[in-house]
């Protein structure tokens, strides 16, 4: 089997597993066209990871674009006050990370648009963690809360431009620049120290819980810390405590995002393979009411992982001889299919990957 075919099969199997996962929690498949009106992306350029967009003019003279983002299309497609619980498997067109080359890339993810409470947040985070687990490698997720960032920035009473600089310094963990800007702008040393501390926070929740509580300066920061701690308790009870890290390098554009934001990493891939967060502000900027939360898994970022260790093509390989009664073979396959995906064959396919081999011999099914 060619390596490209192995990768493709790995991707297909992973997408099937994710689809089953999301549908079990009530999310429906969302399908969209390959392109949108260019104006949608022009008006929300800062939301995109890149401002390079492939455009073309249709036969009516309207300027269209191959979609570089899926969330914008889903928000646009939802009614003004409509709720949506959807997942997707779609291709997007954008510049590759660290390159000017435009590429077609695969994303799988989900969006929850409507009322977002603490349970909803824990559910989406759990599904993101399960999505990382489905890749089959060791994984961790970094979580932050933009309410803590905005609360500290608002306490400085600085102009918007200076706050934006500070948010960038927090995301890059640049404590030196934070201290310098605060000193030059007259921010008190106690508050400046808390902002520097926020930039340096990283670790497990039990290790960093006291440090987080030490950053409370107003209602916004207090609410953010309480929400983070409550989410951790729910996820830890579900068995994900050791997979979560507090990480305030996960700071997205504050004009679009609010609340929790997160990134996922898997062993063997030197970049994040999953990202998501709360984006009520995007809804409001697009004239929609309500709240929203979602994430995307970047299939192309996983390509090297899937290539190096393709997911098994079958849970059970069932081999039977030519003289085996067809009725007996059918009965055995039906029984085995209750335990997983079965591939029945006379001989073992070349280079096939599977978890168990079962054979039919002397009238019996044997491991």
- Dihedral (Cα; 77, 79, 85, 89), 10-degree rounding: 0
pLDDT tens string 37-48: 777 777 777 666
pLDDT tens string 293-341: 999 999 888 876 555 455 557 788 889 999 999 999 999 999 888 888 8
pLDDT tens string 171-185: 889 999 999 999 999
Query: For position 105, what pLDDT does the model report?
Result: 82
pLDDT at 6 over 70: no
pLDDT at 244 over 60: yes
Give the model's confidence band at 249: pLDDT under 50 very low, under 70 low, under 90 confident, else very high. confident
**Stretch 151-158: mean pLDDT, rounded?**
94
pLDDT at 151 over 50: yes
What 3-state DSSP class applies to 366? Answer: strand
Q: How many CA atoms lie within 13 A of 4 on its CB side?
A: 0
Query: For position 80, what pLDDT does the model report?
Result: 61
For 194, 198, 314, 318, 329, the CA distances from 334, given in Å and listed in that order, are 62, 56, 15, 11, 9
The top-scoring range by mean pLDDT among 11-20, 85-94, 106-115 is: 106-115
Query: For position 50, what pLDDT does the model report?
Result: 62
Give the global pTM.
0.78
pLDDT tens string 44-100: 776 666 667 777 787 787 887 777 778 888 888 776 656 789 999 988 777 666 566
How far apart are alpha carbons 301 and 154 in whole angstroms? 36
Cα–Cα nearest to 227, from 219, 141, 171? 219
Q: Which two tokens stand for residue 189?
A: 């040393």
pLDDT at 112 over 80: yes
Query: For position 9, what pLDDT does the model report?
Result: 56
Query: For position 355, what pLDDT does the model report?
Result: 82
Q: Which two tokens stand for residue 315?
A: 């849970």
Query: For position 8, what pLDDT does the model report?
Result: 46
How far apart are alpha carbons 263 and 143 in whole angstroms? 7
For the chain, which residues make up each domain, given as ranges? 1-136+267-311, 139-250, 314-366
- What value does the mean pLDDT of the chain take? 85
Confirm or reject CATH 3.30.930.10 for domain 1-136+267-311, answering yes or no.
yes
Query: For position 96, what pLDDT does the model report?
Result: 65
Stronger pLDDT, 34 or 199, i.e. the higher one:
199
How far apart are alpha carbons 32 and 104 in whole angstroms? 16
């Amino acid at each position: 089997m060619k390596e490209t075919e192995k990768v493709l099969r790995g991707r297909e199997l992973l997408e099937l597993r994710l689809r089953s996962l999301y549908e079990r929690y009530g999310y429906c498949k969302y399908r969209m066209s390959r392109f949108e009106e260019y104006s949608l992306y022009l008006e929300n350029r800062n939301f995109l990871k890149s401002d390079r967009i492939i455009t073309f003019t249709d036969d009516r003279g309207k300027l269209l674009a191959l979609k570089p983002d899926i969330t914008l299309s889903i928000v646009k497609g939802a009614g003004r006050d409509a709720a949506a619980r959807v997942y997707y498997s779609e291709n997007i067109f954008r510049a590759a990370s660290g390159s000017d080359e435009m590429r077609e890339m695969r994303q799988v993810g989900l969006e929850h648009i409507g009322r977002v409470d603490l349970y909803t947040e824990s559910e989406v985070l759990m599904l993101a963690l399960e999505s990382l687990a489905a890749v089959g490698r060791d994984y961790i997720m970094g979580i932050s809360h933009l309410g803590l960032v905005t609360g500290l920035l608002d306490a400085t009473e600085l102009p918007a431009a200076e706050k934006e600089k500070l948010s960038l310094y927090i995301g890059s963990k640049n404590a030196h620049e934070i201290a310098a800007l605060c000193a030059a702008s007259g921010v008190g040393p106690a508050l400046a120290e808390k902002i520097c501390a926020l930039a340096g926070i990283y670790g497990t929740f039990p290790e960093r819980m006291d440090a987080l509580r030490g950053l409370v300066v107003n209602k916004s920061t207090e609410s953010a810390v309480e929400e983070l701690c409550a989410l951790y308790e729910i996820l830890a009870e579900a068995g994900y405590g050791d997979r979560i890290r507090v990480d305030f390098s996960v700071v997205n554009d504050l004009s679009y995002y609010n609340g929790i934001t997160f990134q996922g990493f898997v062993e063997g891939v030197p970049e994040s393979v999953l990202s998501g967060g709360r984006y009520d502000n995007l809804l409001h900027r697009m004239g929609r009411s309500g709240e929203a939360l979602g994430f995307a898994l970047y299939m192309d970022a996983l390509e090297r992982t899937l290539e190096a260790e393709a997911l098994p093509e079958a849970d059970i390989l069932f081999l039977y001889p030519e003289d085996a009664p067809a009725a007996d073979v059918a009965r055995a396959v039906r029984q085995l299919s209750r335990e997983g995906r079965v591939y029945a064959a006379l001989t073992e396919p070349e280079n096939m990957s599977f978890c168990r081999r079962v054979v039919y011999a002397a009238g019996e099914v044997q491991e």
